[in-house]
Structure 1
């Protein structure tokens, strides 16, 4: 019989990419994690890891086994759900995670509404960044995440996760109040092609979206300042140091002498909800998703 604990270690190696990273996530030593995989390989009589440069990679047999392991995990979660089927009222602990803006604008009001509607449900929020959301879901440290759609995410078809659209968050061109474009109802980004630009830092999920929006308008922005925080970008705009594309969900410091101008073509980023496969059927998660869908239309108005 397959040892499910060893199977979980193999799944972690596939998820995190290396034995060392998997061991760290599972609070094991690297040698202990390697030993678990080797023992599993001996039990099955197949090779599960093979050398690749200085590291190792999963064999085709290992990848086939992981496909079955993912299905086992889904069935196990479904079994737990079935055992609780007689308790449809959301109760217990719901762990949610999201990037900073999602926590502020969506998850915090969601938690407040759930507290009013379902007093027996306790919500715990953890701020995180990509790819930590998916790690938390994989490890069982979170039940629900609100994430940005980025190239770093697992594919939509990844059987371990259920990723669903939540809302489109438009980017506005942010300029000083005295800027020539400030009085416009809508602007073509090409009209700002010769401006100095303020952009997200290189490892920000939104950087590529900003560059893509400018590229679609036919230019590459001349980026002179970089920032991690949208409010930092807004303050740089305030001092006339450039223009910026900032998501409408971003709540900027009040009373700054800046103007948000809507953009032709509505460049935007997509926000998703994500659970482990089948997780949306849990009463607590389903209640949270209902509230998020209520909040989404007004969040970007």
Structure 2
């Protein structure tokens, strides 16, 4: 018989990449986590981890076991939903997470609508960067996340998560209000090739989108300033320190002396809804997804 607690430790190692990181997430000591995996290996009579440099990696047997483990986890998720079913009426806690713009523009109004339409449903919102939202889902600490599609996310085929498109968020060129491009209905980014640029910080998931959009327009931007927050970026533009690409969902400080101009080619980022596999049919999640799909078109108008 496979010990499901030990199997969960192995899943955590696969998710976080190291025994130490998995142990921290599970509130184990690294030695205790290692012991759980060694005991699971003894129970099954196979090696589950093998040395790789200074660390370890999963063996082929472990990879095969995890494929079954993910399926088991999805079945447990569905079993819990079936046991808690209340004639399809959304009720109880619903934990949602998202990056800052998603919380402000999508999850907060979603929570208000759900409170009005489903008084027995209690929405709990947690702001989290994209990688942390996947961690929260994996750990069972959130039920639904709105995430930005990035090259570092789990692949869409990852059996642990159910990721579905929500909306495309276009990037606008943001310039000072008296800039020659400010009065245009639409602009080719190549026209801003010789401008000083303000770009997201290197660790931002939006930075690759900005650099890629400029690259597709035929130039590498001269980035002179970096910012983490979109409103900081907007203030730098307002002070005529450069131009920037800012997603349309980002609500900027009102009355700044700036102009947002649509771009040819429609550079954009993709937003996804994500649940654990099997969790998308829970009545509370179904209700939340319905509200998000209703909010999405107007959010980027």
Per the alignment, residue 293 of structure 1 pairs with 293
Q: What is residue 156 of structure 2 aligned with on the other side? A: 156
Summarize deviations over 1:250-280 as a string: whole Å, max 9, x none. 1101001100000001100000000000111
Equivalent residue of 2:138, what SS?
helix
Partner of 2:130, secondary structure, is coil
Per-residue CA deviation, residues 199-218 of structure 1 (Å, 9 max, x unaligned), is 00000000000000000100
**C-alpha contact (below 8 Å) 1:186/1:264 kept by paired residues:** yes
Cα deviation code 1:154-186 (max 9, x no counterpart): 000001100000000000000001101011000
Provide the residue aligned with 2:38 in structure 1.
38
CA distance in 2, matches of 1:87, 1:150: 37
Aligned to 2:166: 166
8 Å Cα contact 1:130/1:152 also seen in 2: no
Report 1:121-270 matches (<5 A): 121-270=121-270
Find the aligned partners of 1:137 and 1:130 in 2 and give their Cα distance: 11
Residue pair 1:175, 1:244 contacting (<8 A) in 2 also: yes
- 1:131 counterpart SS class: helix
User: SS in structure 2 opposite 1:47?
Assistant: coil
SS of the counterpart of 1:145?
A: strand
Partner SS, residue 97 of structure 1: strand
Q: Distance in 1 between matches of 2:49 and 2:87?
A: 43
Other-structure match for 2:48: 48
How many residues were matched structurally? 301
In 1, distance between residues paired with 2:244 and 2:153? Answer: 25
Matched with 2:102 is 102
Provide the TM-score with structure 2 as the length reference.
Answer: 0.99
Find the aligned partners of 1:300 and 1:253 in 2 and give their Cα distance. Answer: 17
Q: Deviations over 1:95-127 (max 9, x none)?
A: 000000000000000000000000000000000
What's the offset of the Cα at 1:130?
2.1
Structure 2 unaligned residues grouped into runs of 5+? none
TM-score by length of 1: 0.99
Aligned equivalents of 1:237, 1:64: Cα separation in 2 = 52
- Bigger drift between 158-167 and 80-89 goes to 80-89
Cα offset for 1:237? 0.5
SS at match of 2:146: strand
Structure 1 runs not aligned, ≥5 long = none
Alpha-carbon distance in structure 1 between the residues aligned to 2:48 and 2:159: 21
What is the distance in 2 between the residues matched to 1:278 and 1:30?
30
Distance in 1, matches of 2:233 and 2:43, equals: 56
